[in-house]
Amino acid sequence: MNDLLTLPSYLDHPPEIAERITELRARPSVMCVDGLTREFRGSGAAPTVALSNVSFEVRQREFISVIGPSGCGKSTLIRILAGLDYPTGGEARLDGRAIRGPGADRGMVFQGYTLFPWLSVLGNVMFGLKMKGMTGRQAQRVARDWLERVSLGKFAEHYPSQLSGGMKQRVAIARALANEPRILLMDEPFGALDAQTRSAMQAHLLEICARVDVTVLFITHDLDEAVYLSDRIVVLGAHPGRVVEIIDVPVTRPRGPQQFLSGHFLATKKRLEELIHRPHGDGPAGDGEIAAA
Amino acid sequence: MNRPLAPVEKSPRLGPGLLAVREPLPKRASFVAGILAFAIPFALWCVISYVPFVWHPLVLVHDPGDTSVRGTYSYLAQGQLVEREVFAARNEELRRAGKKLATGERSNPIYLQAPHAVGRAMVTAFTTPPPRDGDMWLHQSLWKSCQVIFWGFLCAAMLGVPLGILCGTFSLFSRLVEPFVDFVRYMPAPVFGALAVTILGLADEPKIAIIFVGTFFQMVLVVANTTRSVDPALLHAAQTLGTSRSGLIRHVVIPSALPALYRDMRILIGWAWTYLVVAELIGEKSGISAFIYQEQRYRHFDNVYAAIAVIGLVGFGVDQLLALLGRYLFPWESGNTGLVRLARGARRLIPESSRLLARIAPIAKART
């Protein structure tokens, strides 16, 4: 496929990566997705299977991406994990407890802009804190702190309608993280942004993850984004949505734009491309890789 | 190359122009159009009223001529309004008899009053006492009407808005309430007039009840629809931030729907004015409608127009006032943060509770 460039195998981990993978695997599990199945019953006889027996685990302070072609049930998966939808089979557990409905222990950043338009930027970040019963002053202090961390301290009194798309998503990230969730669920959060803003946001997110103790599950359809940000990538296949492979990303941290052209980055991306564009049904089933992961 | 530059040809207009599809008008044009919206109908009214050869189907008789001449049309009298054909026929009779001709000027029917007459009536209606003792002055009638509207609309809103929000939020309430409300909505409010009078008497209560019936059922459906249009993504976001079910209504549904609900209320107040006119004529006639009814019986059409215009002015004035208030109340839609800044400033003036406590605590300690 690639005659000009000899790429290393995506499975060929440099020593520091191998070390990090071992270290990651030793970490306690935060979220366990166990045989998750979701069927939608339409008017027709046969139900549509959006997710079929999806299993993987997310470990403490890990950045894990879920990627797949459209129709693979990425969004359904994250909605179930957020508690906004329910599985028809299997279950998802957070710290060993089955997920039943939404909760503040799973923060979420959506693709669309979901800031509350009637609250100022500060009010938006304070929202979850107040729901937790924190007093106004305390919540304000924490919220201002978070706004500084996403470099939006100056915009505390602005309304969301006065912000650009990238700024809105930064506020949304601050709002979710201020709640100190066990896991941050991100559903294609940069999908609606232009290319430049998106890469700035990716860099920003990497920076936040480096500084803050946070576990992230990130949904995307952008291969570069997945490789650039993640420790591991769960590749889903479509019709029905199922795990095709789970890839340990062999790119060292800290990550930077220069790595987009590194051999390991390209090799991983090439592998993702093969998996996603492969006609569904052939190739090894995902189960083996799940066990390996 | 020091030749002076040729004058730049005026480029064709780059703006969207006056007839651009779904584009905002230039500011000046928008202002002028807003004034024309009133000026054009007014000008038409003036033309019909003051230009003698436009319409004017009647003749106001100044002098009936020689009344001794007998004829089919000898009934002409001074100050009478007669059709042009009748006037011409009478003058024909007089001319044949060789007597003094009748004189008069072309005039419009009594129900079309000229602007100056209505303007004068609007002033005099407020300044002259009612013709009969016990009748109300115009401003009293108007105040009465405003009270009836206020109470009727307030009662409807106190019940209708919460019920509508419940229907818009929970499908159960929607199914329980809306079909019946939809059914009652098609019954015109005035048909309940007789019932209302029987149950509630002749005073203001049945009138308030009519306005309530007229607006409440519409309101429930309108509020429910507005509430349903709240973006579900906001609800999802709030849920992932740990909002409870009751918290969702209080902290997301209501604030999110509030600007739209406010606009709904503005429209529904208009409905209330419509029902007012019917409501005031049941039982004991009262308010501005009674005034109009009375003046119509006296054939004081200038006063009738004056009163109708006053209703329009009050309704329009209230709506514009509410629109202005809305811009301050919902700064996130209008960008007008005046009120918010004012509130923030006021909050700073009040000593914070902790500071206050710190001040009180030593005193309390000293006492014990």
* 10-residue stretch averages of pLDDT, chain B, 368 residues long: 59 68 87 94 94 90 87 88 90 89 90 90 83 76 92 96 96 96 90 89 91 95 96 95 93 96 94 89 86 87 89 92 92 80 75 57 57
- Residues of chain B whose beta carbon is less than 8 angstroms from a beta carbon of chain A are 231, 233-234, 236-244, 247, 251-252, 255-256, 258, 330-333, 335, 354
With beta carbons less than 8 A apart as the criterion, state whether A87 and A38 touch.
Answer: yes
* Percent of chain A topping pLDDT 90: 69
Q: Do B239 and A160 touch (CB under 8 A)?
A: no
Does A131 lie at the interface with B, CB-CB under 8 angstroms? yes
- Calculate how close chain A gets to B230, using CA atoms only, in Å: 11
| Cα torsion angle, A24, A25, A31, A36, sign | positive
Q: Is beta strand A97-98 parallel, antiparallel or unpaired with respect to B81-83?
A: unpaired
DSSP code, position B313? H
With beta carbons less than 8 A apart as the criterion, state whether B87 and B59 touch.
Answer: yes
Mutate to test the interface with B, among A81, A118, A126 (most CBs of B within 10 A): A118
Q: Do A118 and B234 touch (CB under 8 A)?
A: no
pLDDT at B267: 93
Nearest partner of A129 among A154, A146, A109, judged by Cα: A146
Residue A248 to residue A227: CA distance in whole angstroms: 10
With beta carbons less than 8 A apart as the criterion, state whether A231 and A62 touch.
Answer: yes
Task: Choose among B234, B243, B332: nearest Cβ to A114.
Answer: B234
How many Cβ atoms sit within 10 Å of the Cβ of residue B233?
13
Distances in Å between the Cα of B200 and the Cα atoms of B122, B156, B204, B282 are 34, 17, 9, 12
Amino acid letter, residue A134: M
Nearest partner of B291 among B338, B281, B61, B283, judged by Cα: B281
Q: Do A175 and B331 touch (CB under 8 A)?
A: no
Mutate to test the interface with B, among A131, A140, A179 (most CBs of B within 10 A): A131
Region of A159 please: left (phi>0), alpha (psi -120 to 50) or beta.
beta
The nearest alpha carbon in chain B to A120 belongs to B332
Per CB-CB distance under 8 Å, the chain A contacts of B332 are 117-119, 159-161
Nearest partner of A81 among A191, A216, A179, A202, judged by Cα: A216
Q: Encode pLDDT of A81-114 as tens digits.
A: 999 999 999 999 999 999 999 999 999 999 999 9
Contacts across the A-B interface (CB distance below 8 Å): 78
Q: Give mean pLDDT, residues A255-268.
A: 88
Q: Is beta strand A63-67 parallel, antiparallel or unpaired with respect to A216-220?
A: parallel
Domain positions in chain B? 28-107, 124-325, 337-368
Query: DSSP states of B134-183 as a string?
Result: TPPPHHHHHHHHHHHHHHHHHHHHHHHHHHHHHHHH-HHHHHHHHHHHHH
pLDDT at B363: 59
With beta carbons less than 8 A apart as the criterion, state whether A57 and A32 touch.
Answer: yes
Q: Do B256 and A117 touch (CB under 8 A)?
A: yes
Per CB-CB distance under 8 Å, the chain B contacts of A185 are 240
Domain positions in chain A? 15-105+182-292, 115-180
Query: DSSP states of A232-249 as a string?
Result: EEEEEETTTBEEEEEEE-
With beta carbons less than 8 A apart as the criterion, state whether A99 and A46 touch.
Answer: no
Q: Do B252 and A116 touch (CB under 8 A)?
A: yes
Mean pLDDT (chain A) is 89
pLDDT at A260: 86
pLDDT at A203: 93
Positions of E strands within A174-241: 183-187, 216-220, 232-237
Distances in Å between the Cα of B265 and the Cα atoms of B167, B228, B271, B272, B278 are 17, 16, 10, 10, 21
ipTM: 0.89
pLDDT at B202: 86
A281: phi then psi, degrees, rounded to nearest 5: 105, -30
Q: Do A104 and B240 touch (CB under 8 A)?
A: yes
DSSP code, position B12? P
pLDDT at A289: 39
Per CB-CB distance under 8 Å, the chain A contacts of B244 are 131
Q: Encode pLDDT of A187-202 as tens digits.
A: 999 998 999 999 999 9
Chain-centre distance of CA A15, in angstroms?
26
Amino acid letter, residue B152: G
Mutate to test the interface with B, among A116, A125, A188 (most CBs of B within 10 A): A116
DSSP code, position A220? E
Gyration radius of chain B's alpha carbons:
31
Please provide the CATH number assigned to the domain covering B124-325.
1.10.3720.10
Read off the tokens for A27: 């970490």
Residue B291 to residue B138: CA distance in whole angstroms: 7
Q: Give mean pLDDT, residues A216-240.
A: 93
With beta carbons less than 8 A apart as the criterion, state whether B278 and B210 touch.
Answer: yes
Q: Using N-to-C axis directions, what is the helix angle for B171-185 and B205-228, rounded to 10°?
A: 140
| Cα torsion angle, B104, B110, B113, B116, sign | positive
As a dihedral over the C-alpha atoms of residue B85, residue B88, residue B92, residue B94, rounded to 10 degrees, the angle is 120
Is pLDDT at A291 greater than 50 in this prediction?
no
Region of B182 please: left (phi>0), alpha (psi -120 to 50) or beta.
alpha
How many Cβ atoms sit within 10 Å of the Cβ of residue A226?
25
Name, in order, each residue with C-beta under 8 angstroms of A83's C-beta and a sequence gap of 6 or more. A99, A100, A101, A102, A103, A106, B239, B240
Per CB-CB distance under 8 Å, the chain B contacts of A127 are 238, 241, 251
Distances in Å between the Cα of B223 and the Cα atoms of B178, B184, B233, B275 are 11, 16, 20, 19
Is pLDDT at A153 greater than 90 in this prediction?
yes
Residue with tokens 């998106």: A198
- Calculate how close chain A gets to B347, using CA atoms only, in Å: 13
The nearest alpha carbon in chain B to A111 belongs to B233
Name, in order, each residue with C-beta under 8 angstroms of A232's C-beta and a sequence gap of 6 or more. A24, A62, A63, A64, A65, A246, A247, A248, A249, A293
The nearest alpha carbon in chain A to B233 belongs to A114
Residue A184 to residue A30: CA distance in whole angstroms: 11
Nearest partner of B52 among B123, B114, B121, judged by Cα: B114
Name, in order, each residue with C-beta under 8 angstroms of B333's C-beta and a sequence gap of 6 or more. A117, A161, B259
Q: Do A108 and B240 touch (CB under 8 A)?
A: yes
Tell me the CATH class for A15-105+182-292: alpha beta
pLDDT at B189: 86
pLDDT at B22: 85
Residue B88 to residue B93: CA distance in whole angstroms: 9
Read off the tokens for B331: 């700064």
Nearest partner of B101 among B112, B109, B89, B111, judged by Cα: B89
